[in-house]
Structure formats: structure tokens, C-alpha cells
Structure 1
Amino acid sequence: MNRKTIIYCSLVVAVLLLATVICFSFLFSDEGGRSGHSRDRKDLPVSLEAVPSDAVMVLEFDDYARGAEAFSRQSMPPYVFSGKSAVPKVLRELPEKLKEVSGSRALDGLLRGDLSLSLHYSGHNRISPLVAITPADSSIVRQVAEAVSDISGDCVVRAEGGTVVFTDSEVLAESSLRHLSEGVSILDNPDFESMALSADRGTNLYVNHRNLGKLFSGCFNSGYLGYASFFQNFSYWSCYSLEEVGENGMDISGFDMHNVTVDEYSYVFNDLRPKSPTVFSVTPYYSSMALSLPVSDLTALVSNIDRYRDGQGRLDKMVDRRQELARKAGMSPEEWASSLSIGEVGVIRFDTGGKETFVNMVKCGNPSAAGDTAVMKKYDYPGFLASLFGSVFSLAEEDYCVSVSGWLAIGPESAMRDFLNGSALELDLARYLSDAGLSDAFPSKSLLTVYLNFASDPDGLTSPFKTSLARSIAEGAAGYTVDMYAYSLVSGKNGAVPSLKVRLSDYEVPTVSRFDRDTVVVIPKGPWKVKNCGTGRTNLMYQQDNMYICLTEENGKGIWSAPFSSPICGNIDQLDYFENGKLQMIFASGSKLYVIDRLGRMVRPFPVDLGKEILLGPQVYDFNQNRKYNVMVLHTDNTLGLYDLKGRLRDDWVGFDTDETIKKLPRLMEINSSLYWVVTTSLQTVICDFTGKPVADFSGSKKMRPDVRIEPYAGNSVEIETYDGKMWVLDLKSGEFSRR
């Protein structure tokens, strides 16, 4: 696992921290926000007295009904984070089971009772849940314990006084009983008690950051255990409450942190002014990740980050790194950032050319300082962003840069081309989420916002987790276009306050955007089947790594090989060049057409130069069956050419003009004795007449998918299906559409 992979996955872990630790304890309530009122010790749930003091986290429900309902939605946390735990099953089935064996009165006593869930390290890299239930009617404790045992024989169930506990660990169950009998519990921890008393009655989650290393060993793959220290140093204790819950969403909001000091990461945002995160308006809608770090005070932010680095013993190394970068670039990272008047920095991750790629984003208050980036150019300051704002900015390959709506985009060539040709921002993430009704996922102002969408890259985003947990999370995203986790730090009266919003949506990607990303033209590598006119058998022709061209029998027996010096452009076709019944092979390389006979000899007057580089082709056509051949090729400048064998464009060839990527050579289609070309682009399918001119206006509601089927209908007409699923009859001569 390389360093960039670890940094990225650690960021994923950070965003999912709250969701993951709620494997067995997610907030669920119909009440919003905190009133700010504090409680007395007697107001705290009795079930908390059964929680041992070594808990990694604790969740309190003020009644059982809310806790059980939290596990009822199988596409949402906590169910998708519960792995193979029996807790969801027990909590869901216990009310019905208890009613069945003990009646409605017992059920009422259970539902009105309180419930606490906690996570504990039980050894061997294992995290165990502990559920404590204190029914409102203490006389039903025995019946509750028996019902739990009946539902799951794997649970260790104990009862003490008016409380029932169950877990998967015998040691943890006995520890809980000792705490109950001795009157000692998590409530005797002064930090925990202080936070619990400051929280409102309802549903509250408490996280012990100092113990999170134990959570890592139980939930994450071994490669990430060394990064637990970041989360342990975020603060000491933190507390979270539910703000709102919808049909397809859950929100958690932090309202308190204890003992935050300068060597803890949350201190980085102390005394900084939140700003509106805007990077999402220059993020492709199909991105799997986006991070926004608004910069209200560059000097203060970098100073806070450096204090955190100093507390971790890493500042001296970073100072040396900045000095090294300054020597190479002739300008220090601080001077560079100041000259751009940076207002926000971000990292986004999206698919380009079939690969998930990182891009750094810089919002420039002074765009002119970035130079002329209307075209792609080499980026001269790699490493500057990471040295100032953190290692997450080292994920991108900082090779090139372009200007995008006041932002400087920095990344590999393929991603920069997506920005330049408009495909990346045909639909931006902010607009897409707004159209999907999910714009509330981002705060109006924040100190930090990180967005993850599991539906865009389920395998990549679940890679940090152990197999069962990763599978459960990925399955939760199945069937959705959006399965997002938006983690934000907003400003509170005592410093940074974390918030996590989970949203699910099956909102369909509008029109054709998802195909527009598919801009890679596949160049076949062979072998190609050719007919041997001497033997009548089918032979195979291919090109070796050393560029030699070879001909073999179908069984692999070699016939000949001929030296060549450059790659073939993805196709080998045949023609009867001498009009004597003997077939030759024709192929392209560079900007030239080559013809070779069945013995491997070049045919004169070839090669013929077409004047510009060929990407794919040729495809040979004998339109009049008179051996007056034409060839179709796709050029590297995204144009199609129909040539004769002397390298001249046909006089009647107009050509097909598009900004979209032409994906392959067009298909020749004959309808009612007329010839048409079916052209496939990254965005759509277009039917052209023989000259290459579209036969109709295929924009808007008449746009066809790249994978559309075209069926002959009657006369000059074909039947087509447009993006909206409607069937049309298209007259290829008049260009008119009519409903089928």
C-alpha cells in the first residue's frame, strides 16, 4: 500500500468515523437540536450504570422504541455498519417476542424503558457491543432476558437488579455485572458525566477519542491501524445529538468537546471564521469525494496547522520541506499562497479515463497571479499545497493546471482535459444535489466539509474496512445513485463542532451526463482474422511488442514475420488492390496507410500519407462493388475521414463535426437502398447521411443514448429510442420525428 493510498483512505476513515462507530448505536429521534438545558444525575438513563468505564463510545436512548427503530431501515446506518452483529436482529425482534410470551403489558414496560449501547475492545482485534436495557417495569426483567436468549443463542445475556445486558463476550457481560453490583460505571468518569449532564434528554452519542485505537483494530484493516492517532488526538471526549431524520437521511450534530488542546486537530480551527464552501460548484457531479477547506485568514490557518504539527513533533520537518520547495521554485509556499489571495482550497476525486483521479483545487482571489491558464500548462509549484494545508493535498499528481471559473485546477493531464473540454462540469455536484433535493447536506458556512458518495465508488471507499463491514456498507449503496456522507466542522461557541449527514437517493442522472465521462477510445490490439487467398484458410495477423507484424495459422503456427517500426491503429482489413482475386492486408500507423501482401511484402505505392495522425482504422468499403475502394478512419483530432486509396478525401464527404469524443468508427447502415453512417460519441448516437451530415436535429428530447438500437421501420424510416425512454419513428430523408 503506497503512501497516497493510505492518506486517502485515512481521509475516508475520518469522514466515516461517526458512521462506523455507530455500528451498533446510531442516533434516531423525532426531536431536533438541543435546548441547552442540563440534567441532574437522577435524570440520566439507569442503563448507563451498566456500562463499563473502558467504553470506546456510548449511546443513550431515553426509550427503547427509538433504539429499535434505528435498526429498522436496512439501507441506512446503523444497519449497514452492523456487520455480522446480532444486535440489530435482537432489537428489532424483541418487542414482538416479548409480547408473544408475556403480553401487551410487558411490551409497554419494555418500550417505555431506557436503552444504552456501548462498544468495547474485547481482545484479538475484536470490538464487542454491549446493550443494556432498563425496562420501565422492573418485574419483567427476567422475561426480557429469556426473550433475548430465544432470539439469538449466540448472545451472552445477564440480568442484575432492574437491568438486562447482552453482548457477544462473556468477559464483557461479567464486567458489566460487576459494575452494576459495585455501583461503579462510566458515569464515574468526570468528563463523561459532565458531558452527559449537559446533554438534553433524548438520544445522545459520546465518543472517547483516547480509546479509538481499539475501534480501529476491530473495524479497519491492519494497514490503517497506525493512523488511529489522528482521531485519538482530535479531542478527548466529544458528544453528538440528532438534529433531524428523514425518509432517506440521518443527521448527527456534535455539540460539545472536552479538553481540546493545541496538539489536537480540532484546535486547528480555533478562532477562524467559517465561510461558504463553494468547491462543489466546480466538482463533477459523479465525483466520489470532495473536500472543501475555506480560508478566511490564511496566516491564522497555517499558523494553527503548524501548531498542531509542532504538537505532533513534525513541524521542523515541514519547515525544512518548505525551504526546499522555495529553493526550487524561487518563491516560498507562503508567498505563493499570498499572491493568489487564496479564498478556499479543496481536493476532489472523480473518474477520468476509467480511473479514479485526484485533483487539487485553489480558489483565487487574484486569478491573474496564477498566469494564463485558459489552456493547460505545466504546474510549477508541486508540493506547495501539502506543505501548507496538509498531506491530503499530496494525493493529486500535480503535473498540469487550468483555470476553471476563478479556480485553479491542478492534476494529471487527463483530468485537466476534462475541465478544458467541458465534460467535467457539464453538471456540477452542487447543481446535481440541488436537483436531487439534497442541497441541505452541505452547511451554509463551514470550517471544513468532506463529501463521500459510496454509489460512485463502493469498492474504493470501503477498502479501509474489514471484509464483512466493507461488504455491508457496499450493499447498502446498491440501487442508489447517491449514498453520501457529508462531514462538516461548523463554528460553535466553544470551537469547532462536527456534523455528519447521511443521504440516500435514487435520483436518476439527468440526460446524458454519465456517458459523457466515457471519453476513452479503445484501440484493439488484435489479432485480426484475415483470409489467406493462397490457401483459402483463415489466418491471424498481429503485432508483437517489438513492432514486428506477424501472420500465423489459427492454431498458432507461424507463417512469417516482417519488421515494422510503429503501432498499428487498431484494425487490419483486406482488399483486392490489383483486381486479380488476390487479397492484401491494409492497416494504418501514424498518419499513413500501408498495404502488405500475403507473403509479408509491402505493396507499392504505399504507404500513402493522409496528412494527419490516425487514431483508429481503416475500415474498407467497396460501395459500388467495382473495387474502387474507400477507407474510413478516425483521426486523433476527433474527426472522421472517408478517403480513396490515394489519400484524398472523397469530394462528397462533408464530415461529422462534434466536441464530443467519437468513440469508434461509424457503422454503415443501408435503409431503402440509401447509405447512412451511425456515429457513436461519448454523449450520444447520431445518424448521418452518406456525406457525414446529421440527418436530423438530435439535441434535447431527441437525443439518443450511445448504446441505442436502431431498427428499420418502413420506407426511409427507422425506429429509435431517446434518452427519456420514448419511442420515435425518424424519417431519414426529411429528418422529421413522429411518435410510434
Structure 2
Amino acid sequence: MKKTFVVIFSLLLLSCQKTENELPLLLNYIPKDISVIIKVNDLQDFKSSIRNNGFIKKLDGSVLKADLNDFLSPLEHLDTKKELLFCFSEVGAGNFEYTLISRKTADLFKLDSISDRKIESLPYEGGTIQKISLKDATAYSTELNEVVIFSSSRLIIENSIRQSKLKGREGDLTLSKVYETSGNDVSATIIIKNSGFSSLFGELFPDKDFDIIEDLATWSALDILAGQDEITFNGIALSGDQASTLLPLFDRNSPETNRTPFITPVNAKGFVSFTYSDWELLYQNINTYNNKVITKDKNKALFDASNEVGIIYHGDEKSVAVHYTNIEAARTELENERTKVDEYRQTPIYRFSNFKVLASVYAPLIKNSASNFYTILDDFLVFSDKSENLKVIIANYQSKSTLGNSPTYKEYTKDLNDASTILIAGINPEFRELLSQGIKKEYAKDLNALNTKEYPHFAMQLVSDNGFTHINGLIKKVKQQSLAGSISQLLNISLDADILTKAQFVTNHRSKQKEIVVQDVENNLYLISNKGKILWKKKLDSPIQGDIQQVDLYRNGRLQLAFVTDDQFQILDRNGNEVEPFPLKMDKKITQPLAVFDYDKNQNYRFVICQGSDIKMYDRLGSIVGGFTFTKTTGQISNTPKHIRENGKDYLVFTEDNGKLHILDRRGNTRVKVNETIDFSGNPVFLYNSTFTTTDNQGSLIQVDKSGKIAKQSLGLRNNHKIDATIKTLASISENILSIKNQKVELDFGFYTSPKIFYINDKIYVAITDTQAKKIYLYDSNALIIENFPVYGISAIDMADIDNDRKLEFVVQGDKNVILVYKIN
């Protein structure tokens, strides 16, 4: 289990009043010698975030990704909306086992679908241990006081049973404080025991020294937010009563603005910056930490006016930069060290005789940093063991080719605080290379192959404040300036099962932006934000028929989702909860998608449901509308009833499989009598050029006027043709010929979806997808293809301005279980 844990943790870093000794409930059941706790607040969101994060997706096919999947495997058979602890503890030297702890729920474990499972009950000291065998894995569980404990180690379960019988167990107060500060509105929080860092990561990074991390604090907690294009982490670090940790070095010292980025070359591997408002206080704390008695120290005066020290990593070398609020005092102290050995770009480089000064003054923050040479650049005093390193820094500083001046770094760090006690930043791919030099060989290959151009940096900052140290960090995609007309992929979202229905946009009534709804083959309905976050997943009884409609049932601006399945009429609120009195269970199979009529645009909805030859109309309270008299047809209803309004009159239009066309009024009476039967092609009826328009199986355009007279026009369409129409635009596809307003486009032969007309921002677009060639085509109203199309996709699209920036996005199925969202720039 050890390797599995360190992989996920590396990727994520790269993604009530209580009595004094009382622990939060679940913490009472954590194993002894715990090293890491992952507090999961939303299990579904946690798994989805990792699965859909763009940075992690870049590892597809790698050993790292395979081990990540191994890490997630214990969670696949769990289903809970309650808090869950995923713990790792050392059982024997270098052997890490996992433990899952959660409140008991009825359906916590989903094991019914596993045919070869085996469960045994083992008595132990008055309790019961369940031994669960699943394929090649064995795990153990027990239940204690409505808390379920599940572990890969029987010993851990046995210890849990014994510990539960002990009274007055005193908890780790520092752990408790860290735990209580973790957020409940994030998918997961990672809580680390710093002293166990080397044990955990020694296998992954056998050549690395983690002293600074282990010495930093006693416990650290990071709230993880893994979005589609970024991983952010926010939390705290606490030292408790341990004087041996580094954080107390900065007690009563305020963080300062970090200036090290402005002297770090853009091609460096990265830097670490420490700031302080009071050098004297820092110096006292350092000497206390090192058990040294403060004496008169000439080196101390050299740094009196400093407020920051930074380590710059470039090549295989490193340099140290000290920033001053007033560098003149340092110049004076250096008068006896002015042995000029070189000059580069009119900047002197001096030899420094006391080359151990940095380690003697700043240890343990800086260790083993030789300072054979130094130079002065404005308010910086820069040391290095080689003069060539200083020349690189001088050249980049003078040309402003530094990290702090880099547009991508500015964009990357704009969400971080301006001032940090500790700021760590890396530059990809240089940092990736640095990691791969010390990482286990099987992972080094994966890291070196990783394309990090879209993720040029990573950053983490620690800010000391009143006994707490706040941690902020991120790995995010920095988007390049898009060319007008270019098409960029915004989202790549993997669902838990293959996709069943066409993905479509719906409106978030709070933000007025768009979100995505889609159903998978296991009949789970998803609502997904326009940032790629799966907001919820709800199991339905059967597939949704047709598109989902949005309604404002309570007339208060809040929108609900309305649809039908095989035998239910369902309305859900924006959180996926059923709206009373729905769902309505139907007595017979529903045979057409839901039709929603809002005659006067006053939310007095009429919902029309078809069941073979039966037609029923419901009001917004779920009651049958008594005034609608049309209830049955002679044949099977072959299209979803449609409401058409023109010149103040309402028309309810639908067809039968026997060729009858019905055009009714609101009450179900015939408004336009159509005497002839039509050999319908199966396409819907549209209002086009003020006529009720569809096609027949002979490829003719059928138009019915308000008197019921039928006009036919041969279009030469073949069987299985498809059409879409608006008041003035007609589009059709027949074999490989796309027609838009009588303009024809010859496409490659393939299997095409129905053309779909979109009218957005006063412009008409026609979209069609070749599901065989997996190409999406988009045309304007003159049948001219939009620049940079076709693009990849395997389904019909939905298109909208999802974030109100006047630029269009469209959603499409990209693979069996993948949703893609593109942006037209």
C-alpha cells in the first residue's frame, strides 16, 4: 500500500465546541501510529475530481496512473454522502496499510454486484470482525458504536476493538485542532504527520532529503480542490508543543512581500523564499532552535536590514539571494570583503572569504550553501559557490527575464497572497526533471514524458499568523491567448459508466450560466458545472426520453428539471431532489419525450405525456387538466406533441403512425382539419414559412397551411433523411448532402446525426456530426463551414454561451464515457 499512497499524494500536491481532550467522533477510531488521514467529505466528488483533472489525465497509460487507480480501488465499493476518513499507518517497518472509517449507513458497502465475494464473521474479544474476500484482495471490518471501520490489516481492526474498550482516551490535541480547521465544503482534506514524511516518501523519492518538511510542523492539513484545469490546496500547519519544528522560528514575525521571484531566472528550476519583518527576532529564534547562546557576531550585522532570504535552484547549482529594506548597511559590512574577481555587464563580482556564513546564520533554513562569491543587484545581495551562477542571475535580472516578470507566473500566482512567510515555486519542465532525478526509476520515465507546457509552474506558500501557519498552493493550467476563431477544448469529463443520452446545457438560475446534464447506461443522471465539476449524480428508474426541459414550477425564478422515463414523469430541483408531488408513476409505458407548453409565458405549465395512442395533459401541480378533451388517437402517436404560436393563436401539433396530422387548439379541439393522410418520414413538424412543415418517405417537403391544404415539393431526399427548421431556415441531410436554405454541401459518406439549427447572438448556426468518422461540422446560414471545423466528437452537440462572455461553447460525447466541451474563440 505504501507506493499506492505516495502516488496519489504527489499528484494531489502536483490537484462545535469541544472539551479540551475530546476528539471529533471519527478521530476516536483512527489507528495508532497514523501517518496520513484523507478526510473525504464528498466521496463521489472526490473520485470524480481525480478522474477528471486535466493534469492527472496527462498520466493516462503510465505506471503512475495505474498505481493511482490501485489507490482508488478500495473506494469503488463504498457509497456514502457522510464524512469518511481514509487513513494510512505504518504496520511494521516500511509497510503501510489503509483504514476506512465512516458513520454507519444502510448502503455503505456496494458488494451485491460482485459474484465471487466471500464474507466470514470472526469473533474477537466480545466483538465481531468481518473478513471480506474480493477477487485477489482481502479486507477486514468491524462496527463500533455506529461507526464502521474497514482496513487492509486485521491487526488494525483488532486494535480498534481493544481501544474502544478503553475509557478516557486522551487525543492528540494538535491533530484535533488541525482536523477541526479542515473545510467541510471541499471534496477532501489531506492531514499529514510531518515526522512520517520520509517513511512514506522514501520509496518514491529514495534520493531526496525531506528534513525541511519533517521539521516544519507536527501536523499539516490541506483542503484539496481538484478542478478540470487546476489543483488547489489550502490549509494549516501546527507545531503543537514541539520546539524542534521550524514554524516557531517565525513566531511574532510578520510575512513580507516575496521579492525572490524578481531575481530568479525564468529558466531556473525554482526557488524557496523565507521572509521576516524583524531580523533580530528571527535570529534569536534560530539560535534557540540550534541551542546556541547569542554572542556578539559580526555576521549578524551583515543581515540586520534584511527581510528575506531565498534559495534559487538553477541547473545543478543553487544560489542564495538576500533582500534588504536598506542595503547600505550591508555594503558597509562588506567593505573588507571587496576582493573583486570579475565584472559582468558592468556589475562587479567579489570573492567572499567567510563562505560558511549563510549556514551559520540561517541554519536550519539554509544548509550546506557555500558563498564563495557575491554580487549586489539593487536591493539584493546574491551569494553562490561559482561566479558563473551569478552571471546567469545578473543577465536575467538586467533583462527582466525573471520569474516575477513572467506573464505566466503572474497569471499563475494571482490568487495567492502577496506576502508569504515561506514561498516555494517550481518551473516546469525544469522542476519535473529535478523530481525525476531522485524519483523511483519506474516513475521517472512517466514524469519525463509528461507534457507540462500548459502547466508551466507550481507554487505553495505558508503564511504565519497568530500561532497558525496557513498553507496555500496550486497547480493550474495557464491558458495561452487564444486566436480569434480558434477552437479550444475546455473540459474533458469522464463519467462512471458509458453515456446513454445526448449531453445538453441547462441554465443555472443563480449564476445565469449554463451547466450540463447527461445520463449514463446505469441510468444515473449527472449535473455538471461549466468548470467540469460533477455537482451530483442521481439514480433513475430507466432511461430519460428525449431532452430534459427546464421549468419554473413555483414562479420564483428557480428552475427545475422536467422529463419522463419509461414509466415516470419526474421533476427535480437544482440539487437533484424530487419536487412534490413528483414523480408521477404512469400505468402504461411512456412512448414519447415530455412536451411542455407555457401558452402565455406565465409559468402556468401544461405537461403532455403520450402512452401509445393515449395522450394526457397535466398541470404544474401534477393533476390532469380536465379542460383538455383530446385523450386518444386511432393509431400510435409518432412524434412528441408540439406547441406552435402564430398571430395570437395556439396550435397543438402531433402525428400518428397511420398518417394522420392533428392540429388542435388549447382545449384539444381540431383547429385545422387535415383530411389527407401523409406517409410521414418520422421527422418532427415545424412552423416554417408560416406553414406546418415536415417531410414524407418519398423525400418531399410537406407543407400544410392554416386551412388544412397540403402542398408537396420534391426535394430529392433519400430514405432516412433528417431535417430541422425554424421560421425561415430549413436544413436537411440526405446521405452525404447537407442542405441549408437550398445551398448544398457535399460531405464524405458517413452516419450523420440530424442537423441542428442554433440561433445565438443574432446568428444562425447549423451543426451536424458524422458519428462514423467522429467529426463535428458547424456551418452558417449560407452553408459556409465555420473556421477550424470539423473537430472531434461522436454525438450530436448542444451549443450555447455557457459563461456569458459572448463566445460560444458546445458539448459533445467524446468517448464511451467522456463528455467534451469546446470553446469557439
Check conservation: 1:27, 1:204, Cα contact below 8 A. Answer: no
d(CA) in 2 for partners of 1:248, 1:304: 41
Q: 1:274 is matched with which residue: 252, 255, 260?
A: 255
Is 1:289 the counterpart of 2:270? The answer is yes
Q: Which has the higher helix share?
A: 1
SS in structure 1 of the partner of residue 217 of structure 2: coil
SS in structure 2 of the partner of residue 360 of structure 1: strand
Structure 1 pair 335/255, CA: closer, same or farther in 2 (3 Å)? closer
Q: What is residue 221 of structure 2 aligned with on the other side?
A: 239
Q: What is residue 486 of structure 2 aligned with on the other side?
A: none
Q: 1:333 is matched with which residue: 299, 306, 313?
A: 299
Structure 1 pair 200/438, CA: closer, same or farther in 2 (3 Å)? closer
Distance apart, 1:267 and its partner CA: 0.6
Q: Deviations over 1:534-575 (max 9, x none)?
A: xxxxxxxxxxxxxxxxxxxxxxxxxxxxxxxxxxxxxxxxxx
Distance apart, 1:113 and its partner CA: 4.2
Distance apart, 1:432 and its partner CA: 1.5
Is 1:358 the counterpart of 2:341? The answer is no
Q: 1:263 is matched with which residue: 244, 249, 253?
A: 244
Q: What is residue 427 of structure 2 aligned with on the other side?
A: 453
Q: Which has the higher strand share?
A: 2
Q: What is residue 652 of structure 2 aligned with on the other side?
A: none
Structure 1 pair 435/114, CA: closer, same or farther in 2 (3 Å)? closer
d(CA) in 2 for partners of 1:190, 1:408: 43
Q: What is residue 402 of structure 1 aligned with on the other side?
A: 375
Structure 1 pair 204/223, CA: closer, same or farther in 2 (3 Å)? closer
Distance apart, 1:428 and its partner CA: 1.5
Q: Deviations over 1:679-719 (max 9, x none)?
A: xxxxxxxxxxxxxxxxxxxxxxxxxxxxxxxxxxxxxxxxx
Is 1:346 the counterpart of 2:332? The answer is no
Is 1:160 the counterpart of 2:142? The answer is yes
Distance apart, 1:389 and its partner CA: 1.2
**Aligned residue runs from structure 1 range 282-681, under 5 A:** 282-310=263-291, 315=292, 332-338=298-304, 341-351=305-315, 356-364=316-324, 365-367=326-328, 368-369=331-332, 374-380=346-352, 381-390=354-363, 393=366, 397-411=370-384, 412-422=386-396, 425-434=399-408, 437-440=411-414, 442-471=416-445, 473-474=447-448, 477-480=450-453, 482=455, 484-505=457-478
Structure 1 pair 216/179, CA: closer, same or farther in 2 (3 Å)? same
Q: Deviations over 1:379-424 (max 9, x none)?
A: 3242222211126645555343333232222222222223444587
Distance apart, 1:304 and its partner CA: 0.8
Q: What is residue 9 of structure 2 aligned with on the other side?
A: 23
d(CA) in 2 for partners of 1:68, 1:377: 54
d(CA) in 2 for partners of 1:194, 1:448: 22
Q: Deviations over 1:217-241 (max 9, x none)?
A: 44441674xx65x544433333333
Q: What is residue 563 of structure 1 aligned with on the other side?
A: none
Q: What is residue 196 of structure 1 aligned with on the other side?
A: 179
d(CA) in 1 for partners of 2:133, 2:180: 34
Check conservation: 1:382, 1:399, Cα contact below 8 A. Answer: yes
Check conservation: 1:291, 1:449, Cα contact below 8 A. Answer: yes
Check conservation: 1:284, 1:429, Cα contact below 8 A. Answer: yes
Structure 1 pair 111/138, CA: closer, same or farther in 2 (3 Å)? closer
Q: What is residue 64 of structure 1 aligned with on the other side?
A: 43
Q: What is residue 52 of structure 1 aligned with on the other side?
A: 31
Q: Deviations over 1:174-229 (max 9, x none)?
A: 413652586379996342445434545343332223444532444441674xx65x
d(CA) in 2 for partners of 1:489, 1:78: 28
Check conservation: 1:117, 1:130, Cα contact below 8 A. Answer: yes
d(CA) in 2 for partners of 1:297, 1:241: 31
Q: 2:69 is matched with which residue: 73, 77, 88?
A: 88
Check conservation: 1:291, 1:450, Cα contact below 8 A. Answer: yes
d(CA) in 2 for partners of 1:269, 1:393: 15
Distance apart, 1:297 and its partner CA: 1.0
Check conservation: 1:50, 1:176, Cα contact below 8 A. Answer: no
d(CA) in 2 for partners of 1:263, 1:413: 35
d(CA) in 1 for partners of 2:44, 2:24: 14
Q: Cα RMSD over matched residues? A: 4.6
SS in structure 1 of the partner of residue 419 of structure 2: coil
Structure 1 pair 63/28, CA: closer, same or farther in 2 (3 Å)? farther
Check conservation: 2:274, 2:309, Cα contact below 8 A. Answer: yes
Check conservation: 2:217, 2:237, Cα contact below 8 A. Answer: no
Q: Deviations over 1:656-691 (max 9, x none)?
A: xxxxxxxxxxxxxxxxxxxxxxxxxxxxxxxxxxxx
Structure 1 pair 79/238, CA: closer, same or farther in 2 (3 Å)? farther
Check conservation: 1:135, 1:141, Cα contact below 8 A. Answer: no
Matched AA of 1:234: L
Structure 1 pair 257/90, CA: closer, same or farther in 2 (3 Å)? closer
Can you give the 5+ residue segments of structure 1 that lack an aligned partner in the other structure?
A: 1-18, 30-36, 99-108, 327-331, 509-740
Structure 1 pair 220/180, CA: closer, same or farther in 2 (3 Å)? farther
Distance apart, 1:429 and its partner CA: 0.5
Structure 1 pair 197/376, CA: closer, same or farther in 2 (3 Å)? closer
Q: What is residue 215 of structure 1 aligned with on the other side?
A: 200
Can you give the 5+ residue segments of structure 2 that lack an aligned partner in the other structure?
A: 119-131, 482-825
Q: Deviations over 1:515-547 (max 9, x none)?
A: xxxxxxxxxxxxxxxxxxxxxxxxxxxxxxxxx
Check conservation: 1:22, 1:77, Cα contact below 8 A. Answer: no
Matched AA of 1:361: A
Matched AA of 1:295: Y
Check conservation: 2:142, 2:157, Cα contact below 8 A. Answer: no
Distance apart, 1:272 and its partner CA: 0.4
Check conservation: 2:408, 2:456, Cα contact below 8 A. Answer: no
Percentage identity across paired residues of the two chains: 12
TM-score normalized with structure 1 length: 0.51
Structure 1 pair 213/464, CA: closer, same or farther in 2 (3 Å)? same
SS in structure 1 of the partner of residue 39 of structure 2: strand
d(CA) in 1 for partners of 2:382, 2:99: 48
Structure 1 pair 196/40, CA: closer, same or farther in 2 (3 Å)? farther
**Aligned residue runs from structure 1 range 120-131, under 5 A:** 120-131=89-100
Matched AA of 1:345: V
Distance apart, 1:51 and its partner CA: 3.4
Check conservation: 1:135, 1:163, Cα contact below 8 A. Answer: yes
Check conservation: 1:453, 1:484, Cα contact below 8 A. Answer: yes
Structure 1 pair 304/154, CA: closer, same or farther in 2 (3 Å)? farther
d(CA) in 1 for partners of 2:284, 2:391: 35
SS in structure 1 of the partner of residue 33 of structure 2: coil
Structure 1 pair 420/455, CA: closer, same or farther in 2 (3 Å)? closer
Structure 1 pair 84/303, CA: closer, same or farther in 2 (3 Å)? same
Matched AA of 2:95: R
Distance apart, 1:23 and its partner CA: 2.3
SS in structure 1 of the partner of residue 301 of structure 2: helix
Check conservation: 1:283, 1:429, Cα contact below 8 A. Answer: yes
Structure 1 pair 25/384, CA: closer, same or farther in 2 (3 Å)? closer
How many residues align? The count is 442
d(CA) in 2 for partners of 1:27, 1:428: 24
Q: 2:156 is matched with which residue: 175, 184, 187?
A: 175
TM-score normalized with structure 2 length: 0.46
Mean Cα displacement is larger for which, 260-269 or 452-461?
452-461
d(CA) in 1 for partners of 2:11, 2:138: 19
Q: Deviations over 1:353-374 (max 9, x none)?
A: xxx3312212231245356885
Distance apart, 1:485 and its partner CA: 3.5
Matched AA of 1:143: D
d(CA) in 2 for partners of 1:286, 1:200: 36
Q: What is residue 795 of structure 2 aligned with on the other side?
A: none
Check conservation: 1:26, 1:70, Cα contact below 8 A. Answer: no
SS in structure 2 of the partner of residue 110 of structure 1: coil
